[in-house]
Structure 1
Amino acid sequence: MPLGTYGKEIINLNIDSLWSGGPFESEDYQGGNPNVSKADSLPGIRDTIFKDGKGDLSSLLGDAEHYGSYQVLGNLTVDIPDVSNVQNYKRSLDLAMGVYEDRFDVSGSGIKREAFCSYPDHVCVYQVSSNSSLPAVTVGLENQVVSPAPKVSCSDGSIVLSGQTKKDIGMIYNARATVVAPGVDSGNLCSSDGSGVSVPKGQNEVVIIFAAGTNYDSSKGNAESGFSFKGEDPSESVQDRANKASQKSYSDLKSAHTKDFSELFNKFTFKLPDQNGSASKPTDELISSYTDSGDPFVESLLFDYGRYLFISSSRAGSLPPNLQGIWTEQSSPSWGADYHANINLQMNHWGAEQTGLGDQMEPLWRYITETWMPRGAETAKLLYGANEGWVTHDEMNIFGHTAMKNSAQWANYPVTNAWLSQHVWDRFDYSRDTNWYQKVGYPILKGTAQFWLSQLVEDKHFNDGTLVVNPCNSPEHGPTTFGCTHYQQMIWEVFDHILRGWEFSGDTDISFKKEVSSKLSKLDTGIHIGSWGQIQEWKIGQDQKNDTHRHLSNLNGWYPGYSISTQYANSSITKAIETTLYSRGTGKEDQNTGWGKMWRSSCWGLLNNTDQAYSELTLGIQSNFADNGFDMYTGSPPFQIDANFGVLGAVMSMLVRDLDRTREMTGKQEVLLGPAIPSAWGEGSVEGLRLRGGGVVDFKWDDNGKVISCQADLEGRASDVPDVVFFVKGGEGIEC
């Protein structure tokens, strides 16, 4: 990430797998799991909760010893010391091409700097060039914030930064900046002290090839490998990538990158009018002056920015984006920049499927299967006595920390597996890729279902014959109790998906299918309308009016789930959703989170309430987005990326309602185009919107936000999915 300074440019460097902690800090690391089973305490915990309505599960809690943290790799510095009297400075980020550029004039000469990170070549590339000749350029690598400090050396025009997060046992990391100056002998470029590279003045361009790696290996996160997560020293592969890329011309490297990046970005287009002429204004000014009355250009820009960030941080072979994506300048960022999975990790993937980026979610599936499931199977047995399936909780590192931490309100969240299973089903539902489902998706779903089959118990408080979760904590809210509706809704969806996808799963375990079907029929659905008309958060009914908690956990089945939203034609349900949303506030009241507002916007959009959906979206941008477009957790640091991706979910909920279907729904697939498009977006359009079951649709709308024309390509739909019918706001059909 270039900072854009003139004489001394600083480029912040990160690599997704550079973490402290775990087995790279202690050979005894067990992912937070206890040494002996704690499952014997569950019956007593459950009895107390059924008797009193709430209880204490402290006997199941653990700690975060050796949990670790994501950390910055370092800085690449590019000094042009003779720069003064700079004029005409301008910098830009081409979202569609994934290329950063800045340019300025010095003493009549123009200087341009470009940067991009290439997935095809697995390197980052930085170029500084001039339309006449460059002053002397000095290049360095540094990290002044971590301990132990890495070593820096230089040879043959390449600077190497190498380090280890802890002496002897720590994660090994290696970074290399190879400097290429056409016509200059690289053997003479290293400074006398070996700390950097100095390119003499008079060159037309200097190109820096940057490669980095660690010895983290998620495929070693299993019992067979001793949960070591340790791979090979990255030095050789880093040098090999840098050497290969340095043999290519800058134009060839850039061409390969832009072709790869733009093909992904251009799969979806969202166009809004620019009635204010905002495109000609600097982005920082647009965001700093943005108000809750909105600006369509800014809203479409941040939507595109969210897709750019997702493409940049989620590619095959990487880790999924964490709380800060892949961008930090700190050795120990807030919450360790880990994976919180009671909204944040999920929101990071909202909008990906519908905007053509579903294939880019490969890192999430690999993270679940290699980092969660192996250790999570041990956690399931040790904490819950489950002999089948897997479990993890709210806060995870990259080393399989699947046990609870030390506070029930945050830590007691075993339903992470069910929420992520929504994304698993969506991947299959949009792609209809049976091979992927059988090999990757279904094993995740089945392991989730197996765990919950072993944990559901008959409700002994209300004695109504239903099956509930006990104990449970609604995310970061309320007591340890039973029948948290958030859990019940998502487990219902897991079981429903198992049965709906059975014929595609390749599973022949009929006894498992029968048990899922039997327990689904007895499962409390988690849909209870309370005494003041709300969707209850707890079955025991302790919701308070105007409780403005940041989470909307009781509405998960409305959005992003479907156990409630498939009942959108039921006025009692939609009224209860509305009542709950109004009671929950705008998202400013409790910690002022950006993600809280984007979740609210998404819910209002699905409710066809245009004014409230747009109001929450604009409030989030005004309150939480910094001048560089990054979301700030409470409107001020720390940076937390979830709302950047949440913009996609909010906007898509305003553009289309294409719901998941229960197994009982046998009619046509009803797609509502433009359920909540505000008039401020009048005469806009989308192209490439993906549909469940396959196919894409393009459409345009009038100045009131009503869709007036559409074109669908349904040739890619699977033969076993229902026919699609399209509607517009107001309920009238439209031919696409």
Structure 2
Amino acid sequence: MTSSQNKLYYTKPAQRWAEALPLGNGRMGAMVYGGVQREQIQLNEDTLWAGYPRAEHNPDAATHLGEARRLLAEERYIEAQELIEGKMLGTSGSGVQPYQPLGNLYLDFEGEFDDQGYRRELDLNTAIATTHIGEGATSQKRSVFISAVDQVMVVHLESVDPKGLHLTVTMDSELRHTLQDTEDGGMVMVGRCPQQVQNHNNELESILVYDEEESGKAMRFAAAIQVLHEGGEVDSEATGPIKVKGARTLTLLYTSATSFDGFDQVPGTSGRDPIAICSKVLEAAKCKSYDTLLESHLSDYQALFQRVELQLCEMQLDTKLNLIPTDERIQGVMSGVEDPGLIALVYQYGRYLLISSSRPGTQAANLQGIWNDMIQPPWNCDYHFNINLQMNYWLAETSNLSECHEPLFSLIEEQSVTGEETARIQYDCGGWTAHTMSDIWRTNNVGSRGEAEWAYWPMAGAWLCQHLWEHYLFTQDRDFLEQRAWPILKGAAQFVLDWLIDDEQGHLTTSPSVSPENNFLSPNEQVAVSVSQGSSMDISLCRELLTTIVEAGAILNLDEDFVQRCEAARSRLRPLEIGANGQVVEWNHDFAENDPLHRHVSHLYGMYPGHEFTMERTPEFSQAVRRSLELRGNEGTGWSMGWKVALWARLHDGDQASQVLHNFLNLVEEGGFDYHKGGIYPNLFCAHPPFQIDGNFGATAGITELLLQSHQQDIHLLPALPSSWSEGNVKGLRARGGYTVDISWMAGDLTEAKVLADRDGTCTVRYRDKILTVECISGVPVIIDYDHGRLVVRSAL
């Protein structure tokens, strides 16, 4: 790798949030603006959410279920939807609570600065944001990173000016807060969160309020800083800023904490003292030198990030393009410049963002990872289970970040607890389920207001379970499968068994059912509705979960009777259909779509992330998937394009996937909504628009699928290589079964592959129409050449 690869860089400070550079250690997040006179660093903490645990189940919902099913059987879709939206949603007006921004750290510098030589960058190899200010005698270098080892953000300032550094340090927050100094010259900000409630003046709107009667239940937080310096002096005031005068170098340590003590605990009475937690962290960190803090950070972070390397064009061209500012590179692609290196940067950026927002022991990455600057962010910056959260983690196993998958498993475990109550109270079913949205309190309802297309969808539990099974397939960790995954899988399958009904044609189906967020035109009234029986996604999710139970049960030799029930139900599921336009039918009938270009492609789940459809086993349905994608188009919201890249990859069409990636690199102005055309912001954040991080993660997952696939239990090399990526190499990808794979290619042809197995055994390697069985010894790499149309094992080192 050259020094310029894997870097975002710019020649002017960020003017808006979506131009700032993100840092994170899984728990704390920061957005660095790179200002000259004023440096702003916007701050987040992953447990800082509004509200507190509260039950929102609707005990009347189950009493209306039979009527809703009868109306759907009679194809009275409008009446069924009105019943669901009026009687079968949650009971509270508060619903899902929003993720909150903690505040801002400001560094205000004295003096005049040379405007020459300005550069700010984010080095993905080191997870350090650096700003270079000026040239010559007044130049400064400002470096920022967030350590997962020491749980502090480190801001390090250096200047060659003999007068030293002169600056003022302070913090603020949009949340209710107070500032105070500490005995050792530091500063601490303390505050609390509001709760979201229904606006009684506008039934369609929610507002955030500080309820004084219930203020003792609210989340409390603290953010603390400590300034360490060489030379000069530091003054602090009781409730004012910290002033630094004449320091040669300065290291500022920052940390934060909340009173969160579990999804089912009221945070205001938890007993956790955020101030004491911050004090303990800073006390330990300030005993270490800057070099020691940096070394620990690099060792920890690079152990994850450097597992995978990707180069998509000739080195000389790659180096030349990497010398161009990132925002200008995006504009170049928009004007027709071929820049595969920018695709590689986007790929590694997705990995960087997952490492930075999801570590063992932290919360799962939400709609914006951990980065949010709004009190009332888009869609509450919550957890969306009908695509977005799952897409956040599609890259975890394939791009060699299995540890970063862990927070999602914890979320699923906790969601299954609240989901048991939901299944029992609202559906009169056993097991557990989840709906479209949730929050840190593992809320399972959206409140009494909502539209069925997004508010009524009890299939999220089945989808979430896929991640537990995929983790096992990649790691072969039997203990994980038996002790953590199996009870959750079984509970979700129990709900499915109880939820399925006979469609009176000999099949089992779901009812009521939606295809997430999409609408069809009711056949008679030609009105947009969303509720029917047995959407294709519902059926695919049921089939996948029941198949997982059968396969996992055989591995573990557990619950034979339950496994047999699942196998019997699976055999009776309604078959999917191909429509009049050659597409996969999305609902239980070939309805006309209200929005033919809709961003969701839920009916194609069986192709990706599932594997019900494959090019080899189901060619007819694979062609129907292709036709469905053609009808939807290669544009869409940012995250939608991430999904489409992976779907085209599974169809072995790299050039179509490349076109979607080109559309994804559409530079979007900050603000606004567009449900048909997204892209990226100058800092490479995915633009829905507005910002949603799932598109970043989805793009990385999709690019991996172009280079390596293993969903058919073999190692398929370069299954969908775009023609524009004629030369390149990738190292460190993961395949199901426990394999690490390196691949090199030239002029569009495989030149070499290396397979490293976690355990002894055999694997099947595939390239184009060639198949090779390989004997593997744990820890011993096997080198494979493609020689005159043959796959050949060259050596086992």
TM-score by length of 2: 0.83
One-letter amino acid matched to 1:92: E
1:355: how far off? 1.1
DSSP 3-state at the match of 2:686: coil
One-letter amino acid matched to 2:309: T
Q: Which residue of 2 aligns with 1:663?
A: none
Q: Which residue of 2 aligns with 1:158?
A: 186
Q: Which residue of 2 aligns with 1:514?
A: 564
1:487 to 527, 530, 538: 538
DSSP 3-state at the match of 2:72: helix
Q: Structure 1 CA distance, aligned partners of 2:600 and 2:386?
A: 9
One-letter amino acid matched to 1:555: L
Check whether the contact 1:726–1:733 (CA below 8 A) recurs between aligned residues.
Answer: no
1:243: how far off? 1.1
1:504: how far off? 4.0
Check whether the contact 1:292–1:615 (CA below 8 A) recurs between aligned residues.
Answer: no
Check whether the contact 1:229–1:399 (CA below 8 A) recurs between aligned residues.
Answer: no
CA 1:230–1:458 in 2, change beyond 3 Å: closer, same or farther?
farther
1:20 to 31, 50, 54: 50
DSSP 3-state at the match of 2:665: helix
CA 1:296–1:231 in 2, change beyond 3 Å: closer, same or farther?
farther
One-letter amino acid matched to 2:740: V
Q: Structure 2 CA distance, aligned partners of 1:230 and 1:702?
A: 59
Q: Which residue of 1 aligns with 2:89?
A: 61
Q: Structure 2 CA distance, aligned partners of 1:19 and 1:94?
A: 30
Q: Structure 2 CA distance, aligned partners of 1:512 and 1:231?
A: 42
One-letter amino acid matched to 2:334: T
Q: Which residue of 2 aligns with 1:136?
A: 166
Pair 1:52-2:75 in alignment:
yes
1:670: how far off? 3.1
Q: Which residue of 2 aligns with 1:659?
A: 711
CA 1:17–1:353 in 2, change beyond 3 Å: closer, same or farther?
same
Q: Structure 1 CA distance, aligned partners of 2:640 and 2:384?
A: 14
DSSP 3-state at the match of 1:52: coil
Pair 1:105-2:120 in alignment:
no
Pair 1:251-2:307 in alignment:
no
1:182: how far off? 3.4
What are the residue-to-residue correspondences of 1:713-732 with 2, within 5 Å?
713-714=756-757, 716-717=758-759, 723-728=763-768
User: Deviations along 1:607-658, whole A, 9 cap, x unmatched?
Assistant: 1112211101111112511111111113xxx211111111112201211221
One-letter amino acid matched to 2:552: G
DSSP 3-state at the match of 1:693: coil
Q: Which residue of 2 aligns with 1:445?
A: 489
Q: Structure 2 CA distance, aligned partners of 1:150 and 1:561?
A: 50
Aligned-pair RMSD on alpha carbons?
A: 2.2
Q: Structure 1 CA distance, aligned partners of 2:477 and 2:277?
A: 33
Check whether the contact 1:670–1:727 (CA below 8 A) recurs between aligned residues.
Answer: no
Q: Which residue of 1 aligns with 2:516?
A: 475
Q: Which residue of 2 aligns with 1:26?
A: none
1:681: how far off? 1.5
1:694 to 738, 749, 752: 738
Pair 1:391-2:433 in alignment:
yes
Q: Structure 2 CA distance, aligned partners of 1:288 and 1:7?
A: 28
Q: Which residue of 2 aligns with 1:547?
A: 596
Pair 1:283-2:338 in alignment:
no
User: Deviations along 1:639-685, whole A, 9 cap, x unmatched?
Assistant: 1111111111220121122115xxxxxxxx43321122123222101
Number of residue pairs matched? 692
Check whether the contact 1:69–1:338 (CA below 8 A) recurs between aligned residues.
Answer: yes
CA 1:114–1:519 in 2, change beyond 3 Å: closer, same or farther?
same
Q: Structure 2 CA distance, aligned partners of 1:246 and 1:438?
A: 43
Q: Which residue of 1 aligns with 2:32?
A: 2
1:698: how far off? 0.9
Q: 5+ residue gaps in structure 1?
A: 24-28, 661-668
Q: Which residue of 1 aligns with 2:780?
A: none
CA 1:335–1:440 in 2, change beyond 3 Å: closer, same or farther?
same
CA 1:81–1:648 in 2, change beyond 3 Å: closer, same or farther?
same
Check whether the contact 2:185–2:236 (CA below 8 A) recurs between aligned residues.
Answer: no
Greater CA drift, 643-652 or 271-280? 271-280
User: Deviations along 1:207-253, whole A, 9 cap, x unmatched?
Assistant: 111110111122x52xxx68999451222111101110011000000
DSSP 3-state at the match of 2:99: coil
What are the residue-to-residue correspondences of 1:197-596 with 2, within 5 Å?
197-201=242-246, 203-218=247-262, 220-221=263-264, 230=270, 232-273=272-313, 275=317, 277-291=320-334, 293=336, 294-370=338-414, 372-386=415-429, 388-405=430-447, 406-460=450-504, 463=505, 465-478=506-519, 479-505=530-556, 507=558, 509-525=559-575, 527-544=576-593, 547-565=596-614, 568-587=616-635, 592-596=636-640
**Identity across aligned pairs (percent)?**
31
1:466: how far off? 0.9
User: Deviations along 1:53-86, whole A, 9 cap, x unmatched?
Assistant: 6323232112551532111111111122113333
Check whether the contact 1:706–1:729 (CA below 8 A) recurs between aligned residues.
Answer: no
Pair 1:602-2:646 in alignment:
yes
Q: Which residue of 2 aligns with 1:678?
A: 722
Pair 1:76-2:99 in alignment:
no
One-letter amino acid matched to 1:256: S
User: Deviations along 1:565-617, whole A, 9 cap, x unmatched?
Assistant: 3x534331222111111111223xxxx41111121121111111122111011
Q: Structure 1 CA distance, aligned partners of 2:421 and 2:219?
A: 24
Check whether the contact 1:61–1:407 (CA below 8 A) recurs between aligned residues.
Answer: no
DSSP 3-state at the match of 1:402: coil
Q: Which residue of 1 aligns with 2:526?
A: none
DSSP 3-state at the match of 2:431: coil
User: Deviations along 1:540-576, whole A, 9 cap, x unmatched?
Assistant: 22144981111111100101111123x5343312221
Check whether the contact 1:456–1:468 (CA below 8 A) recurs between aligned residues.
Answer: yes
What are the residue-to-residue correspondences of 1:632-647 with 2, within 5 Å?
632-634=687-689, 638-647=690-699
DSSP 3-state at the match of 1:323: coil
Q: 5+ residue gaps in structure 2?
A: 1-30, 195-214, 520-529, 667-677, 772-788
Q: Structure 2 CA distance, aligned partners of 1:718 and 1:512?
A: 32
CA 1:524–1:572 in 2, change beyond 3 Å: closer, same or farther?
same
Check whether the contact 1:546–1:585 (CA below 8 A) recurs between aligned residues.
Answer: no
User: Deviations along 1:27-53, whole A, 9 cap, x unmatched?
Assistant: xx21x212x353122122112111216
Q: Structure 1 CA distance, aligned partners of 2:594 and 2:272?
A: 56
CA 1:375–1:356 in 2, change beyond 3 Å: closer, same or farther?
same
Check whether the contact 2:770–2:791 (CA below 8 A) recurs between aligned residues.
Answer: no
Q: Which residue of 2 aligns with 1:666?
A: none
Q: Structure 2 CA distance, aligned partners of 1:229 and 1:444?
A: 30
Q: Which residue of 2 aligns with 1:626?
A: 681
CA 1:365–1:20 in 2, change beyond 3 Å: closer, same or farther?
same
Q: Structure 2 CA distance, aligned partners of 1:438 and 1:229?
A: 35
Q: Which residue of 1 aligns with 2:791?
A: 734
User: Deviations along 1:276-301, whole A, 9 cap, x unmatched?
Assistant: 72111111211233227441111101
User: Deviations along 1:291-344, whole A, 9 cap, x unmatched?
Assistant: 274411111011111111110000011111111111111111111111111111
User: Deviations along 1:435-480, whole A, 9 cap, x unmatched?
Assistant: 11222222221111011111110113xx1x1110011111011221
One-letter amino acid matched to 1:488: I
Q: Structure 1 CA distance, aligned partners of 2:268 and 2:412?
A: 17
TM-score by length of 1: 0.90
